[in-house]
Amino acid sequence: MAAVSNPDAAADRPRHYEFPILGRAYFLGGRASTAVKAALSGAEIDEDTIQRVAIACYEAEMNVVLHGRSGYLTMDVYPDRILVAVLDQGPGIEDVELAQTPGWSSASEEARTLGFGAGMGLANIKQQADEMRLESTVGEGVQLYLTFVRRDENHG
């Protein structure tokens, strides 16, 4: 997993990470999120924040794996917050409002055999993140932007 980080960057610059996600590579699904969690675990960030980011990333990653052709996840760690973007190329989402309805799913039978596709992904992500923005162009892809406010008190 190729992770790019800049530990030496100036204190006010975020630490930046990028993780590729392969569409349809079912058995790799979750690799990027596992790497996200490992990156955060070594960075003195509180457990609650790590947990929320990791869960949201896992659900978002599985969305790319199950629906997209390819994509990537970027993460920027600031002293007070963590920004995550999950971008994919693929069929996109026709109705982004409908897609966020708990229980609504367009996943294949294959997705369900992996334990996903229950239509709870976006609802779960929304619950974990402090802010969520979902944009999509049909036939092009999906952009998901997430903000997590860090819960730890000694920021940085």
Partner 1 sequence: MTLAGALHIVKAETLVQADDEQLLLTGCFAADLMSDVLAFAHPGSLLLTGLTTDQTIRTATIKRVPAVLIVQGKQPGSEMLEAACEQGVGVYATPLSSYECSGLLMQAGLRPYRKQAPAEPAELVEGGRGGSE
Q: How far is the CB of 113 from partner 1 (least distance, A)?
A: 8
- 79's tokens: 């002293």
Site for partner 1 in 27-66 (CB under 8 A): 27, 29-31, 33-34, 37, 51, 54-55, 58-59
Q: What is the DSSP string of 111-128?
A: HHHTT--SS-HHHHHHHH
Site for partner 1 in 125-144 (CB under 8 A): 127
Q: How far is the CB of 52 from partner 1 (least distance, A)?
A: 11
User: Which is nearer to partner 1, 50 or 77 (by Cβ)?
Assistant: 50
What's the N-to-C CA distance of the chain in angstroms? 26
> Rounded to 10 degrees, what is the CA torsion of 103, 93, 84, 54?
30
Site for partner 1 in 91-120 (CB under 8 A): 113-116, 118, 120
Return residues touching partner 1 (CB under 8 A): 27, 29-31, 33-34, 37, 51, 54-55, 58-59, 113-116, 118, 120-121, 124, 127
